[in-house]
Every structure is written in structure tokens, then in C-alpha cells.
Chain A
């Protein structure tokens, strides 16, 4: 028994109306009639309440009851019309008993979906802003190591990049090109009404839907945190209006292997090279070692979730526990999580009061690896054995050629995070249409790091004679949000919704740590730091900081007949981080929508153009991420600067100014226009087109300032402008909809064009800042590959154009008359186009789905290859196969030669599922098994291992430089059971 909660309000009104009608009509029924008894079910064999059942050509009709059943008397030979919002209407011949199966009409359903808009919700059909909703069924399948992955390729304009195959590493999200050069570009995540919650604290299996507020008219309600968009996550803690008793199990086991390696010379290829070139000085260490393989493993991942749900119309509770264990494809790398959540709600005062409370808690444990091993594996000569004759790790000396297996094995790095979120929520219907909501929450995060490098370990270990660290970092956020909503309806045609509220947030972070070196035994690892005899002044430390955010906000929606809709919102944010002269910021927005298809003049097209809606919005939002706490003040910090005091023959601490004072410091401000068109065609296709133009001003950047007179040579200031313009298209197509076979497809497409308009003003000058550091690559210390420059997008590669390799093996660079290379723009690391495409098929008990995504038009600097295509590496080190045929005989040089086309198209996942028919499933509610393959192929011209590299932040994206944790190719087997 399941209720379609989404439609309850309409159904309720409608059912009363219909019931009244029936009372009137039934009195006229004549004796020729017989009684039809029927039940209406959906395609999952669940009964549906409130379905309209009408006798064709008459006024007779009824609706289904709580059990989906109806009874209706009608004339013999009558035809019944069955209709229900969100389902295909159908006609059936009247018979004494009937079971009617209704098929969902995905098109109509979409318009009725309730969308979270922040401090309230709204039907999709009534929206005035650009909001994309993704429901659970469309999210990523298979092994999910970070919640962001769920949305990859699903939301036009939301770019999700997973720059690493590390199960402990998250993914980065960026909406509509991002708005900041130095601050975070991640959208604000709001989980069940609580803003700022870590997306990864939500268990993927508990997410019901995600609504992405893309334009400023929607996200301005979150003010100084809304500039990068808002992601509203709804978990399954919502109320039920019917009796529910369910227990379900969801689990999978996955097997992953490294999808692609760097193609390096094998030991025999190396020997061949040495022989052919008659290199007498080469030392053959006699082994055949594939250093990359030595570091890898087959990764086993598993996840198990048990979920209880008990509810009736007065209240209920939910409990869920999830255990997941994800191994990485690099040895030692792993992450496991135990997460539990408990929530309960109760109605009181005749359903006028709802009280809700819950806790979510999780414990994560993971082991990061030292990414330097990846570079070492590429550097080391393949004839070097992993272990020498005595069974010890082979060490050949040299720079950056430590034995990577030794490096990996000698590192003990065990980290864990504990999260706790507790919340209470009260909703009170004060009077008709007037409702008060108070939401209080406390989120606590505790991060513990344990680290030990044994005394025999190469790199830091030996010189430090054993080195142990332990640190604890806590942060907590208290939030109280309260708001009133008032719904007013007059003349049946005008609906006005008002909302006003207040929000208080206090974030405190604090922590401490201890470090010691000089251990006589490695027996204790990091567990007995007192065993280390050597410590330095910074080896014990603690810190604490705090920030407050206070807000007032309000919104008004006006809706005339569902045809003309207007929304206006305003928020005032005050933040302790802002400078004294800019403590409060104001963030207004306005938007309007017009459902053209409802106009009388559109009647002629109504048969194929089911819906056409035009939207327009404008808003101002902010981003306060880039400021950090205490950045505007004149403060003294320790900075670890000790001084020797001759009088006492002791070292003492000194305190010095840490920054230049900037009382003008404030949020980055983004104003955005958005035009949107929603349409649905021929009852099969729905789509949205969005056009936006946004301009971010007061960009934060750390500017060099003249010293003298400034006390510190750099200063954080609001100066620059950045603009993004783009187009987004979302299409959903119901290709085939029938009883046994269904097929649908979805497509997202986004184009974004970014430009830095301004970086300087009268006070702060920046003609073109170097970024994309190449520091750390041999011969490139202090060198850069990108500029941040007016007139160019962020992540602009900047260097000489290379016209190939000359016969002497030198790069042919565009040069001036003096022979100096001419540096110019070589393309941006930011993709121009983001595409996502997926299809779902179902045939009887089988279901099949795949999803793909791609990014196009971006450049990736293959710094790994640039550095490995180096003739001085042979014979002592290793090179990629391609080097020998490349003809390069010169030192690594940065040029367009290594700035490659980074476009790619990835088959993210394919899932084949089978739902066991009722008669074989031991009386269980539902049993489904599935198999998912992930990352099965990538189409790309990129010559490195994978073009999807980190483009976190806008200041140095798109550089592939040995720090790439290989991405796995995974096959997983899953099971869903409902009792």
C-alpha cells in the first residue's frame, strides 16, 4: 500500500468534490445497472488512491479508496475512463470485477514534482527560476565513493569532476563555470533544510531527490553563500500520510582494477634500447619490474544498507544503517564508513503541529597514499628489482628515485572522521494558510590524523629517526532558522505565498596536535608519542577560531491561474568575516514566468505542444568562502618565529603582524540574468533551455602590494570582475511506453564561456598573474604554465607555440627576432561543453540503463609526459614508450606541444537489473539483483592516462602531473530486498 504523496493535496480537494458529485448523481441511478468492483494499481503493482473512475458519456463516476478499490454501478456495455494525474488515462470495458494497471505518464509527472526552493517547496510547474531536479532513479549507479558523483552528467551546467580514483578523495562541483578565482566554487548544499551540510555526510542510498538552484533568482534566498548555486538535498526523512511498515536491504560488492597505465618501457624494451644505442655506462640491475603494477591491487568494494520505516498518519520513525568498505586500486589505500541515522516525527494538535527530530552519525576511516610514489614508479629503471638479494628494498640513490614500494609500505597514515548531525524541527499551522517553521541543528565534525614514518624508512623517516604525529581537528556549527509562511488565495485565481525568516549560524573550529621524532623503537607507531625523544618548538600546537553569520530573508510568490507567476526575494547577510566597512550585504532577486501554452491563442498547438513556459529572472548573490576568518583585522600571530634571547640563553616566541589590514573586505558579488524555456512536446518529450549571463564583481585575490609602505607584501582585496555566459539544454524523452517495454532517454548539454573582465583598480594592480605552477618538476622550479589575465578565461595556458620537433630533437618554438620564445594564449583548462546522456530500458522484469558524460573544448597540460620525455632520463631512469619515437632530444620545455586536447566522453556506468517475480521471491515484497559496470571506456585524444584531471578552483586547473591516482574500472553486483 503506497501513497503518492506528491499529489495528495490535489487529490484531497478533488476527492471531496467528486464525492459530493456522486452523492447527487447516485440518486438518479436506474435499475438497469450492475456494480463494477475494481482495484487500480501502478506498474509496480502498488495500489493507487484517489484515481478518477468515470463512465464514458455520463456524469457517473467515483474515486478509488485507501486500498485503491472502487465500486461503481453502471449500465451494461459501458466504458470506464480511468484517469489520474501523472498517469496515462485509459478506457476499459465495464465488468463486474476489474484490475486496472495504470502506466505513469512521465511527462505529466514531471510537472507535478515538488521542488525544494529553500525555505519551502513548489511544484515544478509554478517555478519562475532555473531549477533542475534529479530523483534517485536517475542518479549514478554502482560504487559511489562521494555523493557528488551522483550528479555527474545529470544536471546541465553542473560540472562534476572526479580528478582521482582515490576512494578517500571527493569530487569537485562547479556550476555554470564558477564564480571565483581564489575561493571555493562549490555550490551550497542544503540537506533537509539545513544549509552548509557536508554533502558527503549524507548516505547516497538515503537521498530521495536533489534540486539544483542554478540561477541567481532562485539561489539569492541563500544570499552571501548562493553565488555558486545551491543544491537542495531531500532525504527519506520526510513524513508519510499513510500506514507504512517496511524494511529493506540494499547492497553491492564491486571489483575494480586500474583502467589505464602510463605506457613505460618494460625491462626488455629498456635493454633493447641500451643495446641498440650501445650505451656502455648503463647499469642493468637484472630484474623485470613493472613499478606501476607493484603499487596496485584489485580493489574490492562493498556496501550494505538496512533501512527501517514505520509510519502511520500520526507519526513515525525511520532508522538506517550503512556500512561501506571501499578499497583503492593503489595498495594500502582504502576507506570505510559506518553511518547510521535515526529520525522520528509526530503530529499533534489535530495535525496542526508537527515535531520532528533526528540524528545522523558516521565514522569514516581511511588510509591516504603518498602520491609521490606515482612519480617514483615512472622514474625508476625497470631492471631494478623491488627487493635485493637480502630481501631488503632495493635503493639505487639519486633524486626522486626512491623505491616506491618501500615508500608506500613504510608510511602509516590512518585518518578518521566522526560526524554527528542532530536536528529538531517544529512546524506549526498557526492559522489558515499561516505556518511557522523552526529548524535547529548542531553539526559536529571531528577529524583525527595518525601518522608514523618508521626510523628505517627512506625520505623523512631515516633522518628523523622515526617520526610520529597525531592531530585532532574539531569543528561545530550551530544553526537556528525560523520562518513564517503565509498562503493567501483570493478570487480562486490569485495565489500569493509569502515567507519571511531569520537565520543564525555560528561555526567554531579548534584543534591541537603533537609531533615527535627520534624513536628508539618503531613498535609504538603513532600510539605512544612520548617514546620519541626529539621534538621541536612547533611540535605541540593548538588553535581555535569562530565565525558568525546572521541573516534576514523574505520571499513573495504570486501566481495567477498557473499562467503568470512572479517571485521576488531578498536576503540580508551579516558575517563576522566581513571587514568593518562592509558588515552587511543585501541580496535581492526577482523573476517571472508565463505559461504560454495555457493562453487561448495556443489552443491550436495544444495537441503537440503540451507545455510551453517562458521564465525570466535576475538576482544578486554572494560568495564569502574566499575570505576566511579574521582576514580583515590588524592582528599578531606567532607564525612559529622564535628568537634567541641572549640574556636568558633561551629561545622565545615572537609575534608579528600577519597581514595588511583591510576594513573593506567583503563577499564576492555575482549578478545573474537567466532566461528559461520549459516545453513538452507530443506527450513524449520534455525539455528546458536556459540562457544565462552572470557577472561576478569584487573578486577576491591576494594582490602584491608595494612594500614599503605595506607591512606585508601581499594583501587580500576585492577587485576583479569575471563573467560567465552560457546555454543549457535538458531533454527527457519517453521513447516507448508500454506494458512490458519501456524506454526513455535523457540528455544534458551545457555551454559556458568565461572571461576575466578586470583584475586591477586604482589601488591594486595585476597585469597578469602567473598560475599553474610547474614547481617541483625537474628544471622547472618557480615556473608557471598559466596566467590569470584580463580578457581570458581562468586556467588559461600561456606559453610559446611549438611547431614540432626539429631534426636535432629540439622543440621548434615561435620566437621573436632575438630568439626568445613568444608566449601566447594556448587555450583554457575549462571545458566549453559539458554533455551527459543516459538511457533506461525495461522489459518485463529486466531493466537496463547506462549513463555517459563528456567534457569538450578544454586543454590539459600533460606535464607528466612533458617531464618524462627527457633524454637525460635514459639509461638510469625510465621513459614512456612514446619517447623513443618522438625524436625529442632536448630538456623538458613548456610549450603548446604538451598542451593537449582534453576533450573526452566517458561511459560512466551500465546497469542490468532483474526483479525477481513475486512467485519466486519467498514472499518478500521485492527482490532485485543487478550488475553494474563502471568506467568501461573513455573516448579521448588525450595521450596521458586520463584527461579528467582535477580542475578544482580556477587558479590552476587542468594539469596532469604525476599526482594522478589511477581511476578504476569496476564491476559490481548488487541486491535490493524489500520485506
Chain B
């Protein structure tokens, strides 16, 4: 009996002594403060800044998709411009009228496409700020930290450029540790922040061509964009500065084949200055624009086994876009229209309503579009064995944009003759005859055709002022809509952020 006593007490006290530790033991995660001891570890953190460029989705947590390639960052910029739209097709693509708002330029602060674009940028910025914080605490030497941080600050400036372009006045946050609610800076302040950041880091950025990285060439292209649109952003023109920074961009040539930059293996293109690399085998997500544009039955045209990923029959060209191209313009092939043929039988594919799948440029009724109406986005290469997540890299900056910026800046400065060779170089590659004289219309058309479906059009529309004029299925747009409203949920969460003018 006595021994039993002792055994029991021993058992009890042993268990007590061994088991009062409540620390969480990490196995498949790492603590933020204990990571970044080696250069390779720092690289794995910095790489996250590039991974974030692909966007993210928190739709499963009641949020939304925030992908720069389609839902909804790309959808917003394209459909607000004069080149693309998402018509309502029966019950499909109505979705509470969110796309109709963009088409009519009647968006409000609750539009999810606008929220998606805001979140895309600020998620990227928050991520970079935390990485800079971690680099600061890492084992790197001071000069090594500066070099690493240069790329990070460059990427952050890239996000801020997009915010400047879309929202104008936004809060500037650079410190990971500050937890107070930030206030907005003016659009000019945001402009100046981007300019000074890029100039500050320029010499520390890689001077060579390094695919997918934020190099000096990328920084200069971004500066050129900033200067090209400076009048819109700040009211002050910077055409000369635009030409000067463009002159610093070196090492690129126009690919003889316009579509070389949009092939599945487009990373070989000599024209791409900055791109977001994608590879489905690396689980990159968000790159499924092709599935957002083609008809449900398009798979029979692409794959003998109809194994092509599901397609949702959504975004398409605005009526008039296709016909605005010259018939000889190779770039017109960026749009798909006409009969779609079964790859095996050669017969026209039928839709499930019994009609042939023949894409038309025209859309008779935007709110009740037929399944086959609208020219489809066909710029990036399609392969029969594509996966839902496509493998082509997403082009953000191409050398021909530099040429166009030089051409336009010269034109704006009155050096019309200087701009002509740049325009004709681009036209020649497109299979078009030279123009004799550059006009604003020539410039605008060249921007439209060279960069169709590349997400630049809204900025160009605003710079040329066409954004505010009526176009297909849209009346005149008031000037305040040159920027988007701050998403309502952002204002709800941070009362210090005031709504953009005239949106209240």
C-alpha cells in the first residue's frame, strides 16, 4: 500500500514537471525574427517581393481575386478604356452589375474591381516593407543591404506608380513597424516620392539585363512613364525628362515577329524590359486570361481531345476596335473573330444553343449579348495542352513602349520630325506602310494598336483626353473619374483616408 502511494505521487509529480511548457514548437514554418541569417536565406525573403507581383486571392475569405493578369486588376484597366468590355451574357457576367459600371464609367466606391486593384498594390507594398524590415535585421553588411533594398524600393515604386495612375492621392507607407493609420498624400507628393525613390536607387540597381528583375532599365522605363503622364498627374509637363530617361534604356531590340513577346516561352524575347514570370509547374497562380475570354466550346478548336481548360466567355474587344486596324496590320491578329473550327473535323463548332460559334466584332446589346458576340483577346499564344494556369510570362514593359514614348514626347515638344522614325519603325514591324506625318490621331492609333490588350490603354485614353468623350455604349465622362474612388471598405477601416473629390 505504501509503495503504491509513492508510485502514484511520483507519477503525478513527474508529469507535472515535464509538462508545463506552453511554447509553440515550429516545424514547417519559421519565426520571422529568427530568419535571414545567411545570404541565401535573405534571398528567399527578397524573392517574395517578386512572387507578390503575381497578385493573390483572398476570395475564400470573403475577399476577392487580385491578379494583374485578369481578375480584376487587368479587367478594370481594360474595360474602363476604349478597347475592351465584359458584356452581360444572359445570367453570366452580370455579377451585380460590376462590369456594367466599368463600361458606363459609373463605378462607385463599392465596385470590387477597384478594390481588387487597390489591394493588389498595397499587398505588394506591405510585403516589401516587411522584407526591408527583415533585411535590416539580417546578417548582411550595410552595403549589401543597400543593394538588396534598391530592388525592393524599385518594386515598391512600381506599385506606387500604379496607385498614382489609378487613385491619384494615396497614403505613402514605407515603414513596416509603424502601425498608426496613415493619411493620404497628394497626387503630386506621390509623384515626387516615386521620382525620388527611383533616382535614389538607380546606381545600386543592376545595370545589366536580368530577366524579371527590377534593373536600371526597368527603373528608367518607369521614370519615362511617370514623365510622359506628368501633366495628368501633377499638371506640369516633363516631356524633355521623358526623352532623357528613355535614352538611358539600352540593350533591347524590336523582335522581327511582333508576337514573339507573347509566345508561351516569351522569356527569350529581346524586347521585354520587365515581365512577371509564370510557370504552372511552379504553382504560379492568376494567369488565366485566355479562359476569361473564349467561348465555352472553344476547347474543340484548340485541343483534339477538348482538353483545353474551361473557358468562361467573358472579356472581349469593344466593337470598332477590330475594324480600327488596317487589314494588313499583323497586330490585328491580337483579336480573334469569325468561325471557330473543330481542330479534328474542321467543321464549325456549334454552341449549345444550336448556333455556330462565330465571333462577331459587333455586340448588339451590351446588357444582353449573345454568346458569340465580341472579338476575343488572342494576343498571348494558345496551346492545346495549356493548363488553367498559363505559362507565358506577363509582359509589363516592352522596348516598343520606349520608342513610342520618345515619339510622343518629341511630338508634344513640337519636334514632329523627330518622332516620325520611331513611329515608322514600329509600323514597319507591324507590316504597315510608313506614315508621312505624325498627328495626334496617328500617335493615338499607334498606341492603341501596338499595345492592344496590354493594360496601357486607360492611361493613354486619359492622356489624350479621349477618356472623357463619349464612345461605344458610353456617354461623356466627368473629369473627376480620371481617378477611381478610394474603395469604401478602405475608408471604413481607416477614417483618416478621405474619399477622392466628387465621389462623396
- Which residues of A sit under 8 angstroms from B50, Cβ to Cβ? 643-644, 654
Assess the A710–B126 pair: CB atoms within 8 A: yes
Q: What are some 5 contacts across the A-B interface (CB < 8 A)?
A: A352-B1, A502-B16, A636-B30, A653-B47, A708-B129
- Taking A463-B387, A583-B22, A783-B96 as contacts, is the C-beta distance between A396 and B493 under 8 angstroms? no
- Taking A706-B494, A876-B352 as contacts, is the C-beta distance between A574 and B27 under 8 angstroms? no
Assess the B354–A281 pair: CB atoms within 8 A: yes
Chain A 342-362 residues near chain B, CB threshold 8 A: 349, 352-353
Chain B 301-357 residues near chain A, CB threshold 8 A: 303, 305-310, 312-313, 351-355
The stretch that binds A, out of B5-13, B238-246, B400-408, is B5-13
B468 at the interface (CB under 8 A from A): no
Assess the B15–A482 pair: CB atoms within 8 A: yes
A646 at the interface (CB under 8 A from B): yes
Interface string of A56-86 (1 = CB under 8 A from B): 0000000000000000000000000000000
Interface string of A546-559 (1 = CB under 8 A from B): 11101000000000
Assess the A654–B51 pair: CB atoms within 8 A: yes
- Which residues of A sit under 8 angstroms from B296, Cβ to Cβ? 397-399
In the assembled complex, the Cα of A770 lies from the Cα of B92 at a distance in Å of: 22
B429 at the interface (CB under 8 A from A): no
A433 at the interface (CB under 8 A from B): no
Interface centre among A349, A395, A537 (most CB of B within 10 A): A537
- Taking A778-B92, A891-B91 as contacts, is the C-beta distance between A708 and B51 under 8 angstroms? no
Question: Which residue from B95, B173, B352, B492 sits with its C-beta under 8 Å from A398?
Answer: B352
In the assembled complex, the Cα of A288 lies from the Cα of B13 at a distance in Å of: 75
B235 at the interface (CB under 8 A from A): no
- Taking A653-B47, A779-B91 as contacts, is the C-beta distance between A713 and B307 under 8 angstroms? no
In the assembled complex, the Cα of A679 lies from the Cα of B306 at a distance in Å of: 71
**Shortest beta-carbon distance from B397 to chain A in Å:** 15
Chain B 253-299 residues near chain A, CB threshold 8 A: 277, 279-285, 296-297
A924 at the interface (CB under 8 A from B): no
Assess the A706–B125 pair: CB atoms within 8 A: no
Closest 9 A/B residue pairs (Cβ):
A779-B91, A462-B307, A654-B47, A708-B173, A641-B51, A654-B48, A643-B47, A398-B352, A644-B277
Assess the A438–B12 pair: CB atoms within 8 A: yes
- Taking A428-B8, A633-B31 as contacts, is the C-beta distance between A714 and B61 under 8 angstroms? yes
- Which residues of B sit under 8 angstroms from A395, Cβ to Cβ? 306
- Taking A502-B15, A702-B61 as contacts, is the C-beta distance between A537 and B283 under 8 angstroms? yes
- Which residues of A sit under 8 angstroms from B388, Cβ to Cβ? 463
- Taking A537-B281, A576-B24 as contacts, is the C-beta distance between A283 and B354 under 8 angstroms? yes
- Which residues of B sit under 8 angstroms from A546, Cβ to Cβ? 24-25, 27
Assess the B91–A708 pair: CB atoms within 8 A: no
Assess the B210–A647 pair: CB atoms within 8 A: yes
A430 at the interface (CB under 8 A from B): yes
- Which B-chain residue is minimally distant from A877 (CB atoms)? B352
Question: Which residue from B64, B123, B282 sits with its C-beta under 8 Å from A707?
Answer: B123
Question: Which residue from A283, A465, A642, A707 sits with its C-beta under 8 Å from B119?
Answer: A707
**Shortest beta-carbon distance from A276 to chain B in Å:** 19
Interface string of B75-109 (1 = CB under 8 A from A): 00000000000000011111110100000000000
In the assembled complex, the Cα of A647 lies from the Cα of B206 at a distance in Å of: 11
In the assembled complex, the Cα of A546 lies from the Cα of B25 at a distance in Å of: 7
Question: Which residue from A576, A642, A644, A652 sits with its C-beta under 8 Å from B22?
Answer: A576
- Which A-chain residue is minimally distant from B357 (CB atoms)? A397
Give the A-binding residues of B (Cβ under 8 A): 1, 4-5, 8, 11-12, 15-16, 19-33, 35, 43-48, 50-52, 54, 58-59, 61-64, 90-96, 98, 112, 119, 122-123, 125-127, 129-131, 171, 173, 176, 178-182, 210-213, 277, 279-285, 296-297, 300, 303, 305-310, 312-313, 351-355, 385-388, 489-490, 492-494
Q: What 7 new A-B contacts, CB under 8 Å, besides A636-B45, A654-B50?
A: A349-B4, A397-B351, A463-B386, A548-B19, A644-B212, A654-B51, A713-B119
Interface centre among A456, A463, A653 (most CB of B within 10 A): A463
**Shortest beta-carbon distance from A284 to chain B in Å:** 11
A31 at the interface (CB under 8 A from B): no
Question: Which residue from A510, A706, A781 sits with its C-beta under 8 Å from B181?
Answer: A706
Question: Which residue from A640, A714, A765, A778 sits with its C-beta under 8 Å from B492?
Answer: A765
- Taking A436-B8, A655-B30, A891-B91 as contacts, is the C-beta distance between A712 and B43 under 8 angstroms? no
In the assembled complex, the Cα of A583 lies from the Cα of B129 at a distance in Å of: 30
Chain A 388-421 residues near chain B, CB threshold 8 A: 395-399, 401
- Which residues of A sit under 8 angstroms from B306, Cβ to Cβ? 395, 397, 462
- Which B-chain residue is minimally distant from A548 (CB atoms)? B22
- Which residues of A sit under 8 angstroms from B312, Cβ to Cβ? 399
- Which A-chain residue is minimally distant from B312 (CB atoms)? A399
In the assembled complex, the Cα of A646 lies from the Cα of B50 at a distance in Å of: 12
Assess the A401–B45 pair: CB atoms within 8 A: no
Assess the A545–B94 pair: CB atoms within 8 A: no
- Taking A398-B352, A463-B387, A708-B125 as contacts, is the C-beta distance between A643 and B91 under 8 angstroms? no
- Which B-chain residue is minimally distant from A630 (CB atoms)? B24
In the assembled complex, the Cα of A465 lies from the Cα of B52 at a distance in Å of: 30
Question: Which residue from A352, A426, A633 sits with its C-beta under 8 Å from B24?
Answer: A633
- Which A-chain residue is minimally distant from B40 (CB atoms)? A652
Chain A 563-584 residues near chain B, CB threshold 8 A: 574-578, 583
- Which residues of A sit under 8 angstroms from B123, Cβ to Cβ? 707, 712-713
Question: Which residue from B58, B280, B355 sits with its C-beta under 8 Å from A281?
Answer: B355
Assess the B4–A428 pair: CB atoms within 8 A: yes
- Which A-chain residue is minimally distant from B489 (CB atoms)? A704
**Shortest beta-carbon distance from B254 to chain A in Å:** 22
Give the B-binding residues of A (Cβ under 8 A): 281-283, 349, 352-353, 395-399, 401, 426, 428, 430, 436, 438, 456, 462-465, 480, 482, 502, 504, 506, 510, 534-538, 542-548, 550, 574-578, 583, 629-630, 633-637, 640-647, 651-658, 702, 704-714, 765, 767, 769-771, 773, 775, 778-783, 870, 872, 876, 891-892
In the assembled complex, the Cα of A544 lies from the Cα of B27 at a distance in Å of: 6
- Which residues of B sit under 8 angstroms from A536, Cβ to Cβ? 280-283
Interface centre among A397, A398, A576, A652 (most CB of B within 10 A): A397
- Which A-chain residue is minimally distant from B125 (CB atoms)? A708
- Taking A577-B24, A657-B32, A891-B90 as contacts, is the C-beta distance between A642 and B127 under 8 angstroms? no
**Shortest beta-carbon distance from B351 to chain A in Å:** 8
In the assembled complex, the Cα of A278 lies from the Cα of B198 at a distance in Å of: 68
**Shortest beta-carbon distance from A776 to chain B in Å:** 11
- Which residues of A sit under 8 angstroms from B8, Cβ to Cβ? 426, 428, 430, 436, 438
- Which residues of B sit under 8 angstroms from A712, Cβ to Cβ? 123, 126
- Which residues of B sit under 8 angstroms from A709, Cβ to Cβ? 126, 173, 178-182
- Taking A707-B126, A711-B127, A872-B91 as contacts, is the C-beta distance between A646 and B281 under 8 angstroms? no
- Which residues of B sit under 8 angstroms from A781, Cβ to Cβ? 95
- Taking A535-B281, A644-B212 as contacts, is the C-beta distance between A704 and B493 under 8 angstroms? yes
Assess the B28–A545 pair: CB atoms within 8 A: yes
In the assembled complex, the Cα of A612 lies from the Cα of B312 at a distance in Å of: 68
In the assembled complex, the Cα of A952 lies from the Cα of B356 at a distance in Å of: 45
- Which residues of B sit under 8 angstroms from A655, Cβ to Cβ? 30, 35, 44-45, 48
Assess the B94–A779 pair: CB atoms within 8 A: yes
- Taking A647-B210, A657-B130 as contacts, is the C-beta distance between A465 and B307 under 8 angstroms? yes
**Shortest beta-carbon distance from A550 to chain B in Å:** 6
- Which A-chain residue is minimally distant from B9 (CB atoms)? A436
- Which A-chain residue is minimally distant from B51 (CB atoms)? A641
Interface centre among B20, B280, B285 (most CB of A within 10 A): B20
In the assembled complex, the Cα of A725 lies from the Cα of B239 at a distance in Å of: 70
In the assembled complex, the Cα of A214 lies from the Cα of B256 at a distance in Å of: 77
- Which residues of B sit under 8 angstroms from A704, Cβ to Cβ? 489, 493
**Shortest beta-carbon distance from A866 to chain B in Å:** 11
- Which residues of B sit under 8 angstroms from A430, Cβ to Cβ? 5, 8
- Which B-chain residue is minimally distant from A894 (CB atoms)? B96
**Shortest beta-carbon distance from A455 to chain B in Å:** 9
Assess the B33–A634 pair: CB atoms within 8 A: yes
- Which residues of B sit under 8 angstroms from A771, Cβ to Cβ? 62
